[in-house]
Amino acid sequence: MSKKNTKSGLSSDQQTFEHRQDNTDTHMHEDQSLRVPIHEEELSATKQSRQIGQVRVDKDVVSEEKILEIPVTEERVRVERHAVDRSMSNDPNAFQEGTFEIPIRADQVDVLKQVRVAEEVEIGKEAVQRTEQVSGTVRHEEVRIKEDTTIDEVPNR
C-alpha cells in the first residue's frame, strides 16, 4: 500500500497533478500550490442626465386706455365797463391810440409715459433627489472541496 500525504492529497508515487483551466495545462508538484480564481459578478449602475420636459413662459403685451383726472387752471378775461363822470387835468397821454395786450395763462396737460418695473417673475430650478431601485442577475462561482484522503495506520515504534 502506498502512503498518502494528508496535506496535498497525493500519494508518494504520484509526482504531478493536472488541472485544466482556459485550455492550458497546469502541472503542480508536491512543494507547489495551485491558485484557482473564483469569479463573481457585481451590480453597478451609471446614470446620465436627460431632458424630461421644459417650462415655457410666454409674455404678451396688452394695451388699455387709462383716464387721469388732472386739475388745471386757466385764466379767463373779464371785461367790465363802468360809466364814470369826473373831470381830468391835462393829461399828455389822453387821446392817444394804442393797443393793450394782456397775457392769458392756462395749464396745458402733457401726457408722459414712463416705463417702470411693476413685478418680477423669478424662474429657478432645484434638484430633488430620490432613490430608484434597479436590479439585475449576477453570477458567482462557489468552490466545494471534497477531501478523500485515507491514511494507513502505521504502528507506533
Tens digit of pLDDT for each residue in 83-110?
999 888 888 888 888 898 999 999 999 9
Predicted pLDDT at 33? 85
Neighbours of 80 (CB within 10 A): 4
Mean pLDDT of 141-154: 80
CA distance 42 to 139: 8
DSSP state of 12: T
Q: What is the pLDDT of residues 31-41, one digit of tens each?
A: 788 888 999 99
How many angstroms from the chain centroid is the CA of residue 50?
A: 11
Question: What is the rounded average pLDDT of the residues 124-138?
Answer: 92
* Type of residue numbered 18: E
Query: Is pTM beyond 0.75 here?
Result: no
Q: Which residue type, as a one-letter code, is found at position 14?
A: Q
Q: Is the pLDDT of residue 18 over 90?
A: no
Greater model confidence, 86 or 156: 86
Average pLDDT, integer, range 70-83: 95
The candidate with the shortest Cα–Cα distance to 70, out of 109, 102, 35, 101, is 109
What mean pLDDT value characterizes the chain? 83
